[in-house]
Amino acid sequence: MSKQNIAADIDIVPKGGDEDWAYTDEVKKHFFQPKNLIADAKSVKDYDGLGMVGSPACGDMMKVWIKVDKKEDKIKDMKWQTFGCGSAIAATSMLSVMVSEKGGILIDEALKIKAKDITERLHGLPIRKIHCSVLGDKALRSAINNYFIKSKQKDRFIKEQTRMIDKIAKVTDHDIEEAVLEGAHTLEAVQKKTKVGVGNPEVIPEVEQLIRFYQEKYFG
Amino acid sequence: MPKNIYLDYAATTPVDERVVAAMEPYWTKEFGNPSSLYKLGQRAKHAIDNSRQTVADFFNCQPEEILFTAGGTASINLALKGLLGSYKEPMHIIISAIEHHAVLHTAEKLKKLGHEISVLPIDKDGLVNIKDLEAAIQDNTVLVSIMTANNEIGVVQDIQKLGNLIEKINKSRKNKIYFHTDACQAAGALDLNIQKLHVDLMTINGSKIYGPKGVGVLYIKKSTPLTALIDGGGQEKNLYSGTENVPSIVGLATALKLAYQDKEKNNKQLTKLRDWLIAEILNKIPKTRLNGHATKRLPNNVNISILDVEGEAMLLYLDEVGIQASTGSACTSTTLDPSHVIRALGCPYEVAHGSMRFSLGKDTTKQDLEYLMSQLPKIVAKLRKASPVNINMADIDKSVKLAARKIIKL
């Protein structure tokens, strides 16, 4: 039996912040030599879509510019700027490579890119850093939406579908998604962050399902 | 030029060679269990007794009032939970907004057990206001816990003044209020004379004063009612059972002795270096902000927020050029929350995310800091070019000015 199997059998996986902090070489490469990074925002003149998500207050902010070939409906180029940690910078750099390599990417394909795909290309991120990397595809989607508006393709605009889970605490499925990304893996932890189901216990089965869903989505 | 410049002494310190030498005999030669009757055991017991006396001498208290534990967190848990465990009804505790997580999380646990917790705000410089303490005291208050010096921003509280107030209030009260202070960061630099501080409980640990990790002290004034958290063989007056960690206890006492010996010299040198570095960063890098009082702070602590850039990113670049420091950014904390200390100052989140702590040590040289200054501005400039953020410093000042500084019930 391999060493890994034995550990899995014994189930001594430590909980909470004990796993290796170290970044992979791929992450370090993209952090210290980021690709497609804009040094001067004013220098980007000829772009087709501009997106921005996050805020300095939450510790992560991303601005994305895309160049689109309208006839081919392909993103040809992506430039970006970021206020954020090593994961945020590396993830956005990798995303910009993923959409512009091999002559670009069809918009519909670009919209399918998930945070997990970026993490895989980076050869993995420490679990608690995964949430830092998800802003990238949100920013790209925001830029694509901006392109749709500018190019008068309003029908393709993607509305962020949120579903109200708890009408009393006003918590949506997005709020729960955020909480899981920030490290809340149990009902108690999610309730601590969002107050969902506190005083409204009928919604708890649904909340627990969503927690399981988002955990699988982002942490596999 | 491969360099290794450690500027994170507030996180932990290397053990002084002289401390290692003092500990050496107790690993393999004088390895006896202090509870054993034969001479080998008794010699180990004497080593602990001597260490206890050493610590008591420096704190100006009785050796019976000194308990050895497994570290700062262990001492804090014993002080808080041990004291509250002696009461049958739910009681009231007062802490400051900038306590270490050992105090904060222990307080949160005590709240779950039914006790009331009040959290005192700090002013824009990080200081507790004595009027707030007075206002927070209730009939059922039994414990106040305020740290002597803060680990993140180095701010030093006037423990003596606060202790005096509590003593005065106690003269006309049924429920005595006990005063605990976490002095882990202060032990190396400040005078911890118990008779002056008027505290009933005090915590220090070895790893911040060039001593070993995994050992700490809890000073417990005579007749302070504590219930043990750990049951067993009855060591340490039945308050901290377990075979004593003889080498580390000897190490801690030695480290404390050395700290007091070299205190004035170290403090003078460190203060000079600290002030030089603060001025350098504030002057040479635009959009920077000192966190915490400029002078009522530990001689070795520099905590400055560098705006428009994120802390972890700066740390990674610094690590690449051989400099180790720390940050108050959310990305590097285990809880994914940004520094509660910077937030308690009244600063908006951005200021926490860009905060950098450089804590100096007794061996830090001017050349080390000059090297830091040869790298830091470049790193900041590079990261700023990549950043879409452009915070208005005036907005930060406004936020700090208007911050609500209220006593909060947890």
Length of chain B: 410
Closest Cα of chain B to A71: distance in Å?
31
Nearest CA in chain B to A32: B317
Tell me the nearest-neighbour CA distance from A36 into chain B, angstroms: 10
Residues of A in contact with B312 (CB under 8 A): 85-86
Look at the domain A164-219 and name its fold. Arc Repressor Mutant, subunit A (1.10.10)
> Is A31 an interface residue toward B (CB < 8 Å)?
yes
Q: What would be the CATH architecture of the domain defined by A3-155?
A: Alpha-Beta Complex (3.90)
Distance of CA B55 to the CA centre of its chain: 18
Read off the pLDDT of residues B323-369 as tens digits, 9 standing for 90 and up.
999 998 876 666 667 899 999 999 988 899 999 999 999 999 999 99
List the single best residue of B310, B347, B351, B379 to mutate versus A (max A Cβ within 10 A). B310
Domain extents in chain A: 3-155, 164-219
Chain A residues lying within 8 Å of B386, measured CB to CB: 34, 37-39, 81-82, 89
Task: Report the chain A residue with the minimal C-alpha distance to residue B316.
Answer: A86
Question: A83 contacts in B (CB within 8 Å)?
Answer: 308-310, 387-389
Partner B contacted by A111 (CB < 8 A): no
A127 in reach of chain B (CB within 8 A)? no
The tens-digit pLDDT sequence of chain A (220 residues) is 444 444 333 333 333 444 555 788 899 999 999 999 988 778 888 899 999 888 777 678 889 999 999 999 999 999 999 888 888 899 999 999 999 999 999 999 999 888 888 889 999 888 777 777 778 888 899 999 999 998 888 888 887 777 788 877 778 888 888 888 888 888 988 988 888 887 778 888 888 888 887 887 777 6
